[in-house]
Amino acid sequence: MDSILVTGNGPLAGEIPIAGAKNACLTLMPATLLSEDPLTLTNAPRLSDIRTMSLLLQSLGAEVTALQDGKVLAMSSHGLTSQRADYDIVRKMRASILVLGPLLARTGYAEVSLPGGCAIGARPVDLHLKALEAMGAEMDLRDGYVHARAPQGGLRGGVVEFPLVSVGATENALMAATLARGTTELRNAAREPEIVDLAQCLRRMGAQIEGEGSSTITIQGVEKLGGATHRVVTDRIELGTYMLAPAICGGEVTCLGGRIELVQAFCERLAAAGIEIEETGTGLKVARKGDRVRAVDVTTAPFPGFPTDLQAQMMALLCTAEGTSVLEEKIFENRFMHAPELIRMGASIDVHGGTATVTGVERLRGAPVMATDLRASVSLILAGLAAEGETLVNRVYHLDRGYEHVEDKLSAVGARIERVQGA
């Protein structure tokens, strides 16, 4: 099993290209199931999760071809051979549940294993199922699978009132509604950029959608969708992660392709900590001029609030801030599992339930640490960049699910980081 070795060595300088969004691409790929015509995605990230979704789609009979070194995905679902998403694939990645809505809408039936993913707390699929039930679907959960059947004549439009904001459930319902008879209204819908990106892609395929980016999305169902070519939106989580590299190490780095609108709440917290952020013609320029950042409080929230997927990375920064910061995790329980590993590096962190109190120290110390999930893994790498000595981050298979070529990107701006091949 591979590890990442990081040696702290001071300020960074240069440019880091930001990839297409993992979470957007994993949503866009199942959209191919809605049409017999080809769907091509450009600016695709090259990640293990993308390969897993490709395998899942291929198991259903879809064709998925990676072109231009994996940055372009050419897909076609003209000849589906199965409506069953097997446990052996689905267990590896929670986003697999996103084949449910498209399969059900196009074929009238879907059999999907309950999904897996990072161990960061309960993320039930009941909101997905209730949304599809509002369009007339019948659901039966047995033997670890969701058995979904559309009424005769297909799904029908309806009102879906989400009791909680759910990105995945909004995406599943949005895709299913494009082929439902009549009008569907999604209320208390998620507003994330990935939702907007999906709606734009579906519209290119012929869907009739209004209101994406707001809490109410209206979809007028159409008889069929066609093909399209769509560019995947910039990954706002990778963007925020690499913005933290010069913040924690010092120096100045431009994150190519970044836009403040993707990470507005995050930028506000960084600015409050003393980090300079400038939007340029090519991306976001981030600089730390002083020796240490200021402590700030952070509360995670659905978009447009502070992203839960940047909480671990922000904690790494605040471990070296002047003063005491309070981080409240409002999205997922069990998402402070990186805290004990940061404490191994000399951080002062006190966790009680969904709140972590972080008292900054002058310098972290390198140590062997273990990644517990995707975002925790990169938070430990960031901490290693600012620590004295060497930090060995173990179990980085999590990292490869969400960050492409992290060692190359950080090395290019002056970080001392390398992958250590496992046995």
pLDDT tens digit sequence for 156-193:
999 999 999 999 999 999 999 999 999 999 999 999 99
Rounded Cα gap, residues 245 and 379, in angstroms:
10
Query: Are 97 and 110 within one domain?
Result: yes
140 labeled binding residue? no
Among residues 25, 118, 249, 267, the one annotated as catalytic is 118
Structural domains in the chain (count): 2
Query: Are 275 and 344 within one domain?
Result: yes
Torsion sign, CA atoms 125, 130, 133, 135: negative
pLDDT at 123 over 90: no
- Arithmetic mean of pLDDT, 66-71: 95
Query: Are 273 and 212 within one domain?
Result: no
pLDDT at 75 over 60: yes
156 labeled binding residue? no
Give pLDDT, residue 236. 97
Give pLDDT, residue 122. 44
102 labeled binding residue? no
From 206, 231, 256, the end of a domain falls on 231
Give pLDDT, residue 20. 97
331 labeled binding residue? yes
Give pLDDT, residue 373. 85
Confidence label for 124 from pLDDT (cuts 50, 70 and 90) = low
pTM of structure: 0.92
Q: Residue 302 corresponds to which tokens in the numbers above?
A: 């659905």
23 labeled binding residue? yes
Span of 114-128, 305-319, 325-339 with lowest mean pLDDT: 114-128
Q: What angle do CA 306, 219, 203 make, to 5 degrees?
A: 80
Span of 16-30, 61-75, 236-250, 368-382 with lowest mean pLDDT: 368-382
Which element (helix H / strand E) includes 277? strand 276-279
DSSP state, residue 384: H
**pLDDT tens digits, residue range 315-346?**
999 999 999 999 999 987 778 999 999 999 99
Rounded Cα gap, residues 252 and 268, in angstroms:
18
User: Residue 403 in contact with residue 238, Cβ under 8 Å?
Assistant: yes
246 labeled binding residue? no
Give pLDDT, residue 117. 44
Query: Are 213 and 303 within one domain?
Result: no
Query: Are 181 and 330 within one domain?
Result: no
From 214, 231, 248, the end of a domain falls on 231
Query: Are 258 and 374 within one domain?
Result: yes
Give pLDDT, residue 10. 87
Helix ranges (DSSP H) in 43-156:
48-59, 87-90, 100-107, 126-133
Query: Are 263 and 166 within one domain?
Result: no
Rounded Cα gap, residues 379 and 24, in angstroms:
22
Span of 121-135, 279-293, 367-381 with lowest mean pLDDT: 121-135
Query: Are 35 and 108 within one domain?
Result: yes
Q: Identify the CATH number of the domain in which residue 29 sits.
A: 3.65.10.10
Span of 13-22, 74-83, 99-108, 367-376 with lowest mean pLDDT: 367-376
Q: Which domain covers residue 305, as residue numbers? A: 3-18+234-420
From 216, 231, 246, the end of a domain falls on 231
Query: Are 38 and 173 within one domain?
Result: yes
Rounded Cα gap, residues 205 and 211, in angstroms:
17
Query: Are 79 and 166 within one domain?
Result: yes
Confidence label for 118 from pLDDT (cuts 50, 70 and 90) = very low
Query: Are 62 and 210 within one domain?
Result: yes
**Taking Cα atoms as reference points, which of 326, 323, 324, 321 lies closest to residue 311?**
326
**Taking Cα atoms as reference points, which of 417, 19, 43 lies closest to residue 256?**
19
22 labeled binding residue? yes
**Taking Cα atoms as reference points, which of 415, 381, 100, 26 lies closest to residue 253?**
415
Helix ranges (DSSP H) in 273-422:
311-318, 339-344, 374-385, 406-411
124 labeled binding residue? yes
**pLDDT tens digits, residue range 139-153?**
999 888 999 999 999
Rounded Cα gap, residues 338 and 379, in angstroms:
8
Q: What is the chain's mean pLDDT, rounded?
A: 94
Rounded Cα gap, residues 40 and 98, in angstroms:
18
Rounded Cα gap, residues 147 and 295, in angstroms:
49
Half-sphere exposure of 207 (CA within 13 A, CB side): 31
Rounded Cα gap, residues 340 and 362, in angstroms:
18
Span of 63-67, 286-290, 338-342, 349-353 with lowest mean pLDDT: 286-290
Q: Residue 361 corresponds to which tokens in the numbers above?
A: 């120290």
Annotated catalytic residue 118: yes
Whether omega for the bond prior to residue 115 falls within 30 degrees of 0, making it cis, is no
Q: Is 144 exposed, middle or buried (0-12, 13-18, 19+ CB in 10 A)?
A: exposed
Q: Which long-range contacts (CB under 8 A, 24 or more apart) does 345-349 make?
A: 345/319, 345/369, 345/380, 345/383, 345/384, 345/387, 345/391, 346/387, 347/319, 347/383, 348/319, 349/315, 349/319
Rounded Cα gap, residues 57 and 64, in angstroms:
7
pLDDT at 120 over 60: no
Give pLDDT, residue 423. 53
Query: Are 250 and 361 within one domain?
Result: yes
